Chain A
Amino acid sequence: MSRESDVAGKGLTDADLVAAVRGGNVESFETLIRRYERQAAAVSYRLLGNRSDSEDVLQNAYLKAYQALDSLQDPDRFGSWLLRIVSNLSLNYRRQRASRSTVSLTATDTEKSDPASQMADGSALLPDQVLLSDELKDAITFAMETLPQKQQLALTLFSVQGMPQKEVAEVMQCSVEAVKWHVFTARKALREKLKGFF
């Protein structure tokens, strides 16, 4: 997972930017973050189901990535590496949050009932998404939360985020076959949990 051309840092590879950051150019790190922040935010939000928690985790993940940048062995894989940090921190955060309280991991009531929020997250009026009712969306979110972490992460990255299996394997630091297996078992479990909706 390496990007060369985008608005920020156009023409520079991830490896170029990582080298620049290691050389003391902090601004290059911001360019790197810009490249992957949407993906990182999506992964974090899908795992946490909460806007402000995701923002906290992202902020922390960027800081940790900066501090650990010297340990990144393949700078061309910065994207996968960053997503791995985001995923791990999100799952850790969720575990800690679960032990602190039993509040649902789905969006808060305020977020759900607020029309502006619904517009913002696209859940309200997009015609091609009418099929996905709030009830079903909540059921999917709840069902995914009950999956083992690896299955949930694999399904989130592959089926929800649409990442290729190879990239999912890079983020999860496992083989493509393992990703396939996690996705397979996760689907099977979800089919069972969502039986009433088929």
Chain B
Amino acid sequence: MNQDHIDRNEQQQTEALDNWLSQVGAQPVPVDTESARREAMRQIRREALQLKRHPVSWHSVVAAAAAVVLGFGFWWLFRSTDLAEHQGTGAVVQSTTPSAPRTVVVVNMPPQVELHSPAARESEPTIIVAIGPALAETADDDDVMGLF
């Protein structure tokens, strides 16, 4: 059997095989596509409904953005606050003095009241009361109690 004959034989077998395979492919499949689709869509609709109930809605996006803007606004407003400027306002401000307490409340006080906070000492005769973590170290309890 020479090579030509072998090649021709293989070629014929391949053609026959392709013919069989295409016959297999031509037969309709007994799969209920309707049922598979319907059941899948039922689950998909349920999933979509649950997503609607707990959406990442535009409301929550706007609220988050507003919070960020507001936070940034406060930071901008008070970022270089001189505590002395806020005397008597009662505002909660952030001190820029490195040695001062981080959070202070500026209140009306008689000038003669002396506090022991570094912020108070630096901004004399401005009257400042400090509250927050540094309070215990820098101010007497009596002074603070007297203010509120």
Contacts and interface: CB of A to CB of B under 8 A. Distances in A.
Interface of A: 24, 26, 29-30, 33-34, 37-38, 40-42, 44-46, 51, 54-55, 58-60, 62-63, 66-67, 111, 117, 120-123, 126, 128-129, 131-132, 136-137, 140, 155, 159-162, 187, 190-191, 194, 198
Nearest to A120: B30
Given A45-B31, A120-B30, A129-B27, A58 B40 contact: yes
Contacts of A129: 23, 26-27
A41 B44 contact: no
Contact of A111 (B13, B30, B48): B30
A132 B30 contact: no
A59 B41 CA distance: 9
Across chains A and B, which 7 residue pairs bring their CB atoms closest together, nearest first? A62-B40, A160-B25, A58-B36, A45-B29, A41-B31, A122-B27, A159-B21
Given A26-B44, A190-B17, A55 B22 contact: no
Contacts of A191: 10, 13-14, 17
Contacts of A33: 37, 40-41
24 contacts: A24-B48, A26-B41, A29-B41, A29-B44, A38-B33, A46-B24, A51-B31, A55-B36, A58-B40, A62-B37, A63-B43, A63-B44, A66-B44, A121-B28, A122-B26, A128-B23, A132-B23, A140-B21, A140-B24, A155-B21, A159-B21, A160-B24, A162-B25, A198-B12
A30 B35 CA distance: 12
Nearest to B29: A45
Contacts of B25: 42, 46, 159-162
Looking at chain A's contact residues, the main secondary structure is: helix
Nearest to B45: A26
Given A26-B48, A55-B31, A137 B40 contact: no
Given A162-B22, A187-B14, A187-B17, A51 B30 contact: yes
Interface residues of B, number: 33
A44 B31 contact: yes
Interface in B94-121: none
B85 interface: no
A183 B5 CA distance: 23
B23 A63 contact: no
B39 interface: yes
B26 A58 contact: no
A37 B36 contact: yes
B72 interface: no
Contact of A120 (B17, B28, B35, B41): B28
B140 interface: no
Nearest to B14: A187
Contacts of A121: 27-30
Contacts of A128: 23
Contacts of B39: 59
Contacts of B47: 63, 66-67
A28 to B, nearest CB: 11
B32 interface: yes
Given A34-B37, A46-B29, A62-B41, 16 more contacts: A26-B41, A26-B44, A38-B33, A41-B31, A41-B33, A54-B36, A60-B40, A62-B36, A121-B28, A129-B27, A132-B20, A132-B23, A155-B21, A160-B24, A160-B25, A187-B18
